Amino acid sequence: MSHPRRPLSRRGALKLLAGGSLATLAVAHAPLAFAQEAGPLYKNPAAPIPARVADLMGRMTLAEKIQQIRTAWQGKADMIHELTFNPAKASAAFPHGIGHVTRPSDKRGVPGITGAAGGTAARWRTPRETVDFINALQRWALEETRLGIPVLVHEESLHGYMATEATMFPQAIGLAGTFDTDLMRRVQSVIARETRARGVPYVLSPVVDTVRDPRWGRIEECWGECPYLCAEMGVAAVEGLQGPGKFERLADDKVFATLKHMTGHGQPDSGNNISPASVSERELRENFFPPFREVVRRTSVGAVMPSYNEIDGVPSHANVWLLGQVLRGEWGFDGIIASDYGGVHELATLHHVARDLEDAAHQALLAGVDSELPEGMAFATLEAAVTAGRIPQTLVDQACARMLTFKMRAGLFENPYGDWRKTRRLTGNAEARALALEAARKSLCLLTNKDNALPLDEGTMGTVAVIGPNHAIARLGGYSSVPKQAISLIEGLRQVAPRARFVTAQGVFITTSEDRSQDLIYLADREENLRLIAEAVEVARGADTIVLAIGDTEQTSREGFAANHLGDRTDIDIVGEQNELVEALAALGKPLVVCAINGRPPSWPTVVGKADAILECWYPGQEGGVAMAEALLGRINPGAKLPVSVVRNEGQIPLFYNRKPSSRRGYLFDDAAPLFPFGHGLSYTTFEVSAPQVERTSFAPDEAITVSVDVTNTGTRAGDEVVQLYITRRDVSVTRPVLELKGFRRVPLEPGETRRTSFTITPEQLAFFDKDMREVNEPGPVTLSAGASSASLKTTEITIR
């Protein structure tokens, strides 16, 4: 009696491939009739992907396999003439095909273009040029290479597709502050369709690093200090980019996501990018692993990127325990592992754990890295090393099989092309701009509001002086390109309130240039700034109200990716005589409202002390100018919260809400509390959040707990409140944090309205790692806390029996 064959999973297929069992796999699954009559099995989209991969692998030479796990970025110079893809040059330079091309939207490789692609249009291809380049590249790969294997291309998409005319949403830290997973999902869906329309199926986002050091220039790329918030935002982002749940084949309007950067990247020693992460296994499992694990568990995330840093002496790109035992073994991840840019060759050139590039390639493959970005410098040594027997070919086969599986899951063998008509219709369209405005509105966080200085009353505010280095420029933040439009604060004010009288002044300059990709950064001339401050004071003297736009630039808060391109800071207060500007304007005694436009959290004690109100705007995206104006004038009500604790000064670092009970005893001559706590954010109305409500107070370890919280708008304006639910575990075998966020919901309320919101706390959310590093839910008391921030809570006690 015959039995139906059970389908082979991708993980099972890859195990067979890794063991060299190509023939076994092909025989197990090959529909031979198709292979004999209609062409190669690997070109049949109806055949199982594992069988297609095995068939293709069996036809490939070693050189062709190695090419599939290498990448070309500067190497684009060898496939183009000026801007145009040149098939003859490509065939000469890449006789074994091209596996992977980095950022087709930038002009890397074009003569005269140097440096990282930044905010200058000259460094980017137009949308049409990008589509034409990708389509010519793929046509050559399918029609003129021996096996017709399509090329994988990737782009950046931290808070928008980083390409000309694409929609730029608020920076990641601002999106996190919305505490709105539905919004995150919708934002990422727009990013996906704008990206895929141009022919790009794969992006290097989201960043799910738990971040704990504001000196680190990449803090703006992250979703905050809370592993639970990072995990929930991470799941929502991946669902928006890829589609929900588990699946095998990617939809044609979606892109594969990459979880970055595994791990410890957000707490580097001294706040210096790529420095070691001095954290224990317990810290990793409780604070840095959860966002990665949760996304892998709940989605089919396509890729994971290791971090540049080392953990306990082992760089992540060579960490077999991290990438093999934990990521692939414990969590069951079956996508690709793509290196961070230069992360493989740095095993030899920076960390000095590899003798040379060949040894670096060997160690990365052993750890499970499948694709070397952005150029494949170390993997270029593999053909000679494998041929000589110094590196087993099974390692190359394993990585190649995963890359081919990735391409087949993305549908590239069937349609790798971009669509210019779709690109033109979708890129920066009215729907995308409306969503960018909604996201900007929801990302604004009211930090202080003395005597209800905000919102401004258009009837009584009189002449408004709009001053500061960020008042007339739309700051977009790192990993941005050049959108179709970007609205500054003053433009937004004039658009929202065309009859109001606004006067302006620069106030100060922060740095000497506005080139986001510039390597060496210099602060603006102090004497010139003092002259500008005097001018600003005279402008403000004739006004009735002052709106001051200060903060960071894309130069003073950014990724420090090289010794000549730094981005980390020892002093996290505002720079460039901005504090002196604040003091001079405050001395006039007029209402002073600050719009904080920044990437780092606002550890600005002078500003907090002098301003009548502070609106934290982060980098609010291309529509941010309108959103900020609407908030200042009361057209909308800010409702965002802080996804980080804001330190008073560098001496408090690291500071995070989920601290252990023995920490934060206090300091001489200073306050141990943060300047602003995690989850903080005010409103133009008032809210009352009830204590958590449960049906009973005793639960078994395997029971889920339903918790209800009532929230009431007790004020006179409509507004949103973010209800936050925390737990505290006590009397268990290892120390636990004083608070752990386990639920949040952004609730819109009309004046006088009450809504009940419910949360489910699962046994897994109550579990922790015991003395033997086993994940357990031990019996003991649990405090449930609910409120509007981590510092304003009401509690209920329950017991796990």
How far is residue 568's CA from residue 557's CA, in Å, rounded to a whole number?
7
User: Of 22-31, 126-135, 307-316, 537-546, where does mean pLDDT reach its minimum?
Assistant: 22-31
Q: In sequence order, what are the residues at sequence separation of 6 or more whose Cβ sits closer than 8 angstroms to the Cβ of residue 684?
A: 446, 449, 452, 454, 455, 634, 637, 638, 715, 717, 719
What is the four-CA torsion angle of 632, 638, 643, 648, rounded to 10 degrees? 40
Burial class (CB in 10 A: 0-12, 13-18, 19+), 3: exposed
Under the banding of pLDDT at 50, 70 and 90, the label for residue 21 is very low
203-222 b/e with 16+ CB inside 10 Å = b?
A: bbbbbbbbbbbbbbbbbbbb
Mean pLDDT, residues 116-144: 88
Strand partners, 709: 757
- Residue (of 744, 775, 738) closest to 761 by Cα position: 744
Domains of the chain and any CATH numbers: 60-412 (3.20.20.300), 439-652 (3.40.50.1700), 687-800 (2.60.40.10)
Is 312 assigned a catalytic role?
no
- Residue 58 in this model has a pLDDT that exceeds 80: yes
How far is residue 94's CA from residue 264's CA, in Å, rounded to a whole number?
37
How far is residue 394's CA from residue 62's CA, in Å, rounded to a whole number?
11
Per-residue pLDDT tens over the stretch 507-520: 999 999 998 888 99
Q: In sequence order, what are the residues at sequence separation of 6 or more whose Cβ sits closer than 8 angstroms to the Cβ of residue 432?
A: 167, 190, 194, 426
**Is the Cβ–Cβ distance between 252 and 415 less than 8 Å?**
yes
- Residue 729 in this model has a pLDDT that exceeds 50: yes
- Residue 376 in this model has a pLDDT that exceeds 70: yes
Outline where DSSP puts E strands in 230-316.
258-262, 303-306, 310-311, 314-315
Strand partners, 775: 769
Q: In sequence order, what are the residues at sequence separation of 6 or more whose Cβ sits closer than 8 angstroms to the Cβ of residue 278?
A: 267, 269
Mean pLDDT, residues 546-557: 97
Mean pLDDT, residues 687-699: 98
pLDDT (0 to 100) of residue 120: 64
Per-residue pLDDT tens over the stretch 63-93: 999 999 999 999 999 999 989 999 999 999 9
Alpha carbon 432 to chain centroid, angstroms: 19
Number of H helices, E strands in the chain: 25, 26
Mean pLDDT, residues 330-338: 98
**Is the Cβ–Cβ distance between 674 and 646 less than 8 Å?**
yes
pLDDT (0 to 100) of residue 46: 97
Q: Which two tokens stand for residue 543?
A: 């006004």
pLDDT (0 to 100) of residue 123: 87
CA distances, 231 to each of 223, 322, 341, 663, 734 (Å): 9, 18, 24, 25, 23
List for the chain the helix, strand, coil content (%; round to 5): 35, 20, 45
pLDDT (0 to 100) of residue 112: 76
Strand partners, 260: 207
pLDDT (0 to 100) of residue 517: 84
- Residue 717 in this model has a pLDDT that exceeds 90: yes
Mapped to the 3 state alphabet, what secondary structure does 663-716 carry? CCCCECCECCCCCECCCCCECCCCEEECCCECCCCEECCCCCEEEEEEEEECCC
- Residue (of 370, 375, 376, 300) closest to 331 by Cα position: 300
Query: Could you give the strand order of the β-sheet that contains 592-597, starting from the edge strand earlier in sequence?
Result: 445-449, 613-616, 592-597, 545-551, 464-467, 502-505
Q: Which two tokens stand for residue 242?
A: 């890829």
Alpha carbon 379 to chain centroid, angstroms: 27
pLDDT (0 to 100) of residue 31: 41
Dihedral sign computed on CA atoms, order 488, 490, 495, 497: positive
DSSP 8-state symbol, 288: I
Average pLDDT taken over every residue of the chain: 95
Under the banding of pLDDT at 50, 70 and 90, the label for residue 345 is very high
Mean pLDDT, residues 393-402: 99
How far is residue 290's CA from residue 280's CA, in Å, rounded to a whole number?
15
Mean pLDDT, residues 524-532: 98
Strand partners, 743: 725
Q: pTM (2 decimals)?
A: 0.94
- Residue 561 in this model has a pLDDT that exceeds 80: yes
pLDDT (0 to 100) of residue 29: 41
How far is residue 339's CA from residue 69's CA, in Å, rounded to a whole number?
11
pLDDT (0 to 100) of residue 8: 44
Per-residue pLDDT tens over the stretch 259-271: 999 999 999 999 9
**Is the Cβ–Cβ distance between 14 and 401 less than 8 Å?**
yes
pLDDT (0 to 100) of residue 118: 52
Alpha helices in 243-335 (DSSP H): 281-283, 289-298, 320
Mean pLDDT, residues 694-723: 98
- Residue 688 in this model has a pLDDT that exceeds 50: yes
pLDDT (0 to 100) of residue 363: 99
- Residue 348 in this model has a pLDDT that exceeds 90: yes
Name the residue type at position 254.
K
How far is residue 31's CA from residue 642's CA, in Å, rounded to a whole number?
56
Mean pLDDT, residues 587-602: 98
Q: In sequence order, what are the residues at sequence separation of 6 or more whose Cβ sits closer than 8 angstroms to the Cβ of residue 758?
A: 706, 707, 708, 709
- Residue (of 304, 75, 306, 308) closest to 202 by Cα position: 304
Q: In sequence order, what are the residues at sequence separation of 6 or more whose Cβ sits closer than 8 angstroms to the Cβ of residue 228?
A: 290, 740, 741, 742
**Longest Cα–Cα distance in the chain:** 95
How far is residue 76's CA from residue 373's CA, in Å, rounded to a whole number?
13
DSSP 8-state symbol, 338: B
- Residue 18 in this model has a pLDDT that exceeds 70: no
pLDDT (0 to 100) of residue 11: 53
pLDDT (0 to 100) of residue 113: 73
Strand partners, 343: none
Q: Which of 340, 397, 612, 720 is catalytic?
A: 340
